[in-house]
Chain A
Amino acid sequence: AQKVTQAQTEISVVEKEDVTLDCVYETRDTTYYLFWYKQPPSGELVFLIRRNSFDEQNEISGRYSWNFQKSTSSFNFTITASQVVDSAVYFCALSERGNAGNMLTFGGGTRLMVKP
């Protein structure tokens, strides 16, 4: 069965620090998809990135970057020069191709607090 683990439940940093959020996943499927979502206090989950299991290239989008390593089953997320607006709960999620459709398995989330 699929599983996603986010070992860091809460991280606190000071503005402008870099921070990395860890995500480790388990799956028996050879084709799968990994996602990161941000949940601000309003409650809505905001999509950040989708990565398929055949694409191990790292990705950078502005201050955000993602490191996907199949060898360690990890999909870590780094925020460079953090800002107060980055404060939110971040979720890593997994979707297996073997499922009939769209079904996300989420990690427990990491609450990031960025202090001014």
Chain B
Amino acid sequence: KAGVTQTPRYLIKTRGQQVTLSCSPISGHRSVSWYQQTPGQGLQFLFEYFSETQRNKGNFPGRFSGRQFSNSRSEMNVSTLELGDSALYLCASSEVRDTEAFFGQGTRLTVV
């Protein structure tokens, strides 16, 4: 079974731009969650999608948004990038709720 796939692996963007990150979950998994990892704040939950609906949302500004498609693939979008958005963005997929989450290798975003 293929694991969680995130694309791209690395991105460099300029302040003010927007960016879209993609995540393909493990086949059969309907829950996709996104996390931001920074040296200062650690791992923080962004949001979770299940069957194309946002089920949970973390404490992030509205510039961070996401969506999930009917095939469970998910995208997250960050608009008006700020330097502080530089981070490793991790996607996780789960079969159902409260089960183990399997993570992708992440997308490392650098905002300059």
Contacts and interface: CB of A to CB of B under 8 A. Distances in A.
A11 to B, nearest CB: 17
A107 B44 CA distance: 10
A51 to B, nearest CB: 11
Nearest to B42: A108
Interface string A90-116: 010001010111111111110000000
Contacts of B44: 106
B39 to A, nearest CB: 10
Interface stretch (B15-23, B71-79, B96-104): B96-104
Contacts of B33: 102-104
A69 to B, nearest CB: 21
A94 to B, nearest CB: 11
Given A100-B55, A102-B94, A104-B45, A43 B100 contact: no
Q: Is the interface of A mostly helix, strand, loop or mixed?
A: loop
Q: Among the interface residues A91, A99, A102, A106, which one has the most CB atoms of the partner chain B within 10 A?
A: A102
A105 B35 CA distance: 10
A91 B42 CA distance: 10
Interface range on chain A: under 10, 10 to 19, 20 to 34, or 35 or more? 20 to 34
B56 interface: yes
B24 interface: no
Contacts of B50: 101-102
Contacts of A99: 56
A106 B101 contact: no
Interface string A56-96: 00000000000000000000000000000000000100010
Nearest to B33: A102
B55 A101 contact: yes
Interface of B: 31, 33, 35, 42-45, 48, 50, 55-56, 58, 88, 90, 92, 94, 97-106, 108
